[in-house]
Amino acid sequence: MISNITLIGMPGSGKSTVGVVLARAGAMSFLDSDRLIERVEGKKLFEISDAVGLQGFREVENRVNASIDAENTVIATGGSVIYGPEAMAHLRDISHVVYLRLPYPAIEARLGDLHARGVSIAPGQTLLDLYNERCPLYEKYAHFAVDCEGLRPREIAAIILERTGRDAPGLFAPSDTAE
């Protein structure tokens, strides 16, 4: 049985937030691959991108994600992970890949400064351009998608746990069910 769950989707789709809730609910570990890239490279994402350019950053991201060795872990990836074919093949082999899908207006409303967030975007490219470019790739690589608009992180986690056939021992704390 595949023991990992990988979350993919646009920046601002909730991968890290949902990932932490999902890991807790499923009694799993949590790994944020953007933080892993920063640890491996010793720099913040935007510093890496500034130093090696967009294509160089994607190569680093592909290499680091393709080397993840985890068990019973929720892996929250960076939004541009889908540009790395080796990384995506590896993540599909070791995990259920779940696309957290949101409509463009919701993504636009959630995002602030794209550069400070380390969003991998080409010069002159708009957020809408990026959204339209990436969404087909998220669909291509995901084992399944969850439409997240209007759902709370716990609700999204419950859907993912159900779809992957996992128990949810930590989804609701005793205080959540008390009247």
pLDDT of residue 2 exceeding 90, the answer is no
Q: Are 104 and 146 in contact (CB under 8 A)?
A: no
* Architecture of the domain defined by 4-167: 3-Layer(aba) Sandwich (3.40)
Task: Indicate the burial class of 134 (C-beta count within 10 angstroms; 0-12, 13-18, 19 or more).
Answer: buried
DSSP assignment of 121-143: --TT--HHHHHHHHHHHHHHH-S
How confident is the model over 8-63, as pLDDT tens digits? 999 999 999 999 999 999 999 999 999 999 999 999 988 898 899 989 999 999 99
Cα gap 97→3, rounded to integer Å: 11
Give me the sign of the Cα torsion angle 67, 73, 78, 82.
Answer: positive
pLDDT of residue 152 exceeding 70, the answer is yes
Q: Which residue has the higher pLDDT, 22 or 117?
A: 22
Residues 6+ apart with CB under 8 A from 12: 102, 106, 107, 110, 111
Q: Which residue has the higher pLDDT, 167 or 163?
A: 163
Residues 6+ apart with CB under 8 A from 69: none
Q: What is the pLDDT of residue 179?
A: 36
Domain segments of the chain as ranges: 4-167
User: How would residue 178 be classed by pLDDT, with cut points 50, 70 and 90?
Assistant: very low
pLDDT, the chain, mean: 90
pLDDT of residue 155 exceeding 60, the answer is yes
Q: What is the dihedral of CA 111, 113, 114, 115, to 10 degrees?
A: -160
Q: Are 48 and 41 in contact (CB under 8 A)?
A: yes
Cα gap 177→98, rounded to integer Å: 28
